[in-house]
Amino acid sequence: MFNFSTQALFGQLLVGLINGSFYAILSLGLAIIFGLLNIVNFSHGALYMMGAFMAYFGLTFLGIGYWPALILSPLIVGVFGVVIEVLLLRRLKGLDHLYGLLLTFGLALIIEGLFRNAYGVSGQSYPVPDLLQGGLNLGFMFLPYYRGWVIVAALTVCFAVWFIIERTKLGAYLRAGTENAAIAQALGINVPMLTTLTYGLGVALAAFAGVLAAPIFQVNPVMGSDIVIVVFAVVVIGGMGSIMGSIISGVSLGIIEGFTRLIYPEASAVVIFVIMAIVLLVRPAGLFGKAA
Amino acid sequence: MAMTTMTAPDAVRRVDYRAFLGFAALLVAGGLGPLFLYPTFLMKVWCFALFACAFNLLLGYGGLLSFGHAAFFGGAAYICGHVVKEWGWPPELGLLAGMASAALLGFVIGALAIRRAGIYFAMITLALAQMVYFLCLQLNFTGGENGLQGVPRGRLFGIINLSDNLTMYYVVFAIFFLGLLAIYRTVHSPFGQILKAIRENEPRAISLGFDVGYYKLSAFVMSAALSGLAGSAKALTFQLASLADAHWHMSGEVVLMTLLGGVGTIFGPVIGAGVIVTLQNELADKVGPWVSVIIGSFFVICVLLFRRGIVGELGAWLGGKKPNGPPGGGH
Amino acid sequence: MLSKTVLLATVAGLALGGSAFAQAPQTVRIGVLTDLSGLYSDLSGQGSVSATKMAVDDFIAKEKPSFKVEVVSADHQNKADIAANKAREWFEKDGVDLVTDLVTSSTALAASKIAKEKNKIAIVNGAATTALTNKECNDVTIHYTYDTYSLANGTAGAVSSQPNGKTWYFLTADYAFGHALEADSAAVVVANGGKVLGTSRHPFPGSDFSAFLLKAQASGAQIIGLANAGTDTTNSIKQAAEFGITPKQSLAGLLVFITDINALGLKATQGMYLTEAFYWDLNDETRAWSKRFFDLNKKMPTMVQAGQYSSTYQYLLAVKKAGTNDTAKVMAAMKAATINDFFAKNGKIRDDGRMVHDMYLFQVKKPEESKAPWDYYKLVSTIPAEKAFQPLDKSTCPLIKK
């Protein structure tokens, strides 16, 4: 079982890190949304897919390239998220949080269904931007520049979001709203507005991940439907409310998954779920979560 | 299980005429159904109705939203199909084997999941069910994408020939009906009362000295076992078990059936299952690719406008007993 | 739904005996049971329904039959029970004689069983599993267009007989289907004097294949065999190009369709080997038919859709020849016929239900070689019918007497 070289080890760890960046950025979005809205956003995968599609639309119909899409696509999907929040999610206020899960599940089915009807399932190809064509020979592996960029971009955005939430005034409002919405409202914070924007931000993060993913994966309507479950598990492992927890566990689970692919590939599909079960046994609140 | 012993308090023992009417109506519908509707279609309705009722036992009365019930339904279908097809077990043992395996799986998943409540519970069940799905995909006996095909129906108790479609129909209906009765009895037993008490206010139930974990786990195992029974019955009906039944979409569908019919009502899930199965069958040749969009819209509409579901809204409209509220837990 | 009391009459009719329709038919009904919304809808789906209708229209125009032909279609949503239920309902209630298309293995097998039970015909074009003509075969099912054996065998056989196709590494979807594809191909590679250097089993469905591709790269194999399907295959191909694995090492797609190539584009797929039963640009006949299909559907046909047309036409011819829609007689007529149309030359339907015809090994063109949209393939070789499919003496179909 352990007949692999250090070369392969480094290669797999790097690949794991790339996947971990996706997990981190997706679980971060889920964690932010959960923190303030107490909603498990089941449509996260569908919105991730939408992000990728927006980039594809931009390129195909408007000639908008990758770099503007990296900003525009999250913006558009973020606005879409704001509309969803105002029109639908807001109506669930005061109800059991499970309804949020069910509503967003329904939304995911609708969004995916619509895209499938319009674009089929084979998907569309999105090219790697010219600037990042090619790659670097690291000795132990060939690292496509684009993959390197994914790590940098994802982690930068993750830490920027973390910084905004933990170190700025806006973030302080957000944390106050998360901690106790009623008191925050009484203190003059516009909590409904904050809630709407938070959902928009979380969704925009999903779309950002979608644009990052577009050149790597085939852009197709079902690209987000399975990843969302893995990300759920990542979030449970990290502890739902924790911003840093979701980033760290996202990255490290990607690496663990990569390592599993090396030593026992048959288990790589389930390793995250197994870890989740173990974490729940040892620390039910998640690695970084506060006890419920 | 010991929870259905006859020591119910007076309030419970009093005959609920509405429930009685409901069961009577079901008997009539089930008995005469094949005269008007297609038996195979109806069998599917009863299988899913039992599945949804089993799910509702957990959600409606225990306040626990499982998003992984497909694991029990689909997993049991495979076990039942395998023992009947490959080992030549008679159908009654096949049903029992499916049910027992689902109960066992329910014990393992439930024991892990009840460590958390509300949304966490939902996500944990979802993730663990996904593991079961991967097992179903990879294990050799499930036949992967082909599914387990050509499961013989055999003879029930060695005498009743199930290959006759109408005979099979009444057996499936009986399974459903008995399952529903068991759920009804459970809900109205002291066990069910305690379960509801936990749903309404868990800390209070703990302070009253109830072992909350035990009750939740028991409800989970029972719900899983009945879901397994439904899955096994479906495997015999259609003579196959396939991956779709273990996929998380199926978990979502059973949530919708329950929600649509009425969470926490005895008959709601039956109605919900009927509507969804009809939709899937009838829509199949009419709307083509729009099925998933329509199902998704149902979710959204139910959550926004009809949270009590068809039966719940009907009950409220008739001004009768207040239907059970939304699932508890959450906060 | 009360109108369904008609059912009573139908049930009574069936009880009197299955051969009630043995007379010359008034109307022949064809049920296209396919995936209209899911993963396989590009491969078959609406295009298959369209191809069926084309076949019916052409048949009526050319053969002027004494009977009418109706086409119904339904979305089985890739669920075996819905497929079984729908097929049963069609056979029992709606007087459907033939259920066809049947994409995905589980639905095809389920519908084939119902056809057997109801003594009606099933013609499978969409599904790939060889189980249909082996363990699970029956005398009312025809597997028409292709199967996993013909694709894997065709690609692996042709590639490994070339000097630069001797060492292989497999990227295999980790479930029964992937394992079968890998085993079929590996056997041919070894038989041709090649070597299998290793295998990576990846989870299904996967999305990131770079880890497995790196292993394949490290193995130094000349050919990386993709024993997977659908988005798994497209993502593997895309990422192989990204990591600079292709074109240094070549890919061999064991279950790749023209829709996949169209989705990926030639830049990522160039140089890849694959086997298909049909390509629109083979000759004048295929071009003429495909153009008609294109005008209706705005995309070129897949082999499944072309096979759907061909098999429907053949079925109707057999009904006309037999003068009845009686299952046994129509099946006999179909098996007696030699199929010659734009899709197949000298095609024959064997006793195990396998339609054998030539298959084609293609190589994907370089972007600069492609002159028009859908101009994707170079024909490398034609695999003759007798070599393209699993030999009859290897079949485990109980209908085959040995």
Per CB-CB distance under 8 Å, the chain B contacts of C177 are 144-146
For chain A, say whether B9 makes contact (Cβ under 8 Å): no
- Contact across the interface for C82 and B149, Cβ inside 8 Å: no
Q: Where are the beta strands (DSSP E) in C158-286?
A: 167-173, 195-202, 223-227, 250-253, 273-276
**Is B292 within 8 Å of A113 (Cβ atoms)?**
yes
| Contact flag C265-A125 (C-beta cutoff 8 Å) | yes
> CB contact, 8 Å: B287 with chain A?
no
Q: Which residue has the tokens 């830490």?
A: A159
> Given 3.40.50.1820, 1.10.760.10, 1.10.3720.10, 3.40.50.2300, which CATH number is that of C25-146+283-356?
3.40.50.2300
Q: Do domains C25-146+283-356 and C149-276+359-387 have the same CATH topology?
A: yes
Rounded to whole angstroms, the Cα distance separating A138 from A158 reads 26
Q: What mean pLDDT value characterizes chain A? A: 88
pLDDT of residue C244: 84
Give yes or no for C270 touching A (CB within 8 A).
no
Go through A129-147 and write b for each residue having 16 or more CB atoms within 10 A of its CB, e for each that does not: beebeebeeeebbbbbebb
Where do the structural domains in chain B lie, given as residue ranges? 40-246
Q: Kindly list the partner chains of chain A, i.e. chains with 3 or more CB atom pairs below 8 Å.
A: B, C
Give ipTM to 2 decimals: 0.84
* pLDDT higher than threshold 90 for residue A192: no
pLDDT at C264: 87
* pLDDT score for B201: 87
Token pair, residue A233, equals 């598990």
Q: Does domain C149-276+359-387 have CATH number 3.40.50.300?
A: no
> How high is the pLDDT of residue B37?
86
- C-alpha distance from residue C216 to each of C79, C206, C250 (Å): 34, 16, 11
Tell me the chain B residues in contact with residue C93 when contact means C-beta distances shorter than 8 Å. Answer: 38
**Cβ contact B284:C86 at 8 Å:** yes
Which residues in chain C have Cβ-Cβ distances shorter than 8 Å to A19?
208
pLDDT digit string, tens, across residues A95-144: 888 889 899 999 999 999 999 888 877 788 898 898 888 888 877 778 88
User: What DSSP character marks residue A129?
Assistant: P
Query: In chain C, which residues have their Cβ closer than 8 Å to the Cβ of B137?
Result: 175, 204
Minimum Cα–Cα distance from C199: chain A residue: A265
* Rounded mean pLDDT, A67-75: 96
A236 vs B123, B134, B303: nearest CB: B123
Helix-helix angle B212-238:B39-59, to 10 degrees:
170
Q: What are the structural domain ranges in chain C? A: 25-146+283-356, 149-276+359-387
Distance CA B254, CA B228 (A): 13
**Predicted pLDDT of residue C19:** 42
Give every CB contact of residue A10 below 8 A, 6+ residues apart in sequence. A138, A140, A141
Residue spans of chain C under pLDDT 70: 1-24, 402
Cβ contact B37–C41 (<8 Å): no
Tens of pLDDT, residues C218-256:
888 999 999 988 888 988 998 898 888 887 899 999 989
Best of A13, A121, A136, A146 to mutate (most C CBs within 10 Å, chain C): A121
Q: Can you tell me whether residue C175 is helix, strand or coil?
A: coil
In angstroms, what separates the C-alpha of C35 from chain B's closest C-alpha?
8
Which of A122, A147, A218 is facing C42, going by the closest CB pair? A122
10 Å CB burial of residue B221 (0-12, 13-18, 19+) is: buried
Tell me if residue A126 falls in helix, strand or coil.
coil
For residue B174, the model assigns a pLDDT of: 95
Q: Which of C82, C84, C89 sits opposite B38 (nearest CB)?
A: C89
With contact defined as 3+ CB pairs under 8 Å, the chains touching B are A, C
- The whole-angstrom separation of Cα C375 and Cα B269 is 53
| C113 with B234: Cβ contact below 8 A | no
Q: How far is A94 from chain C (nearest CA, A)?
A: 36
A202, amino acid identity: G
Q: How far apart are CA C60 and CA B251, in angstroms?
A: 46
User: Which residues of chain B fall short of a pLDDT of 70?
Assistant: 1-15, 284-285, 288, 319-331
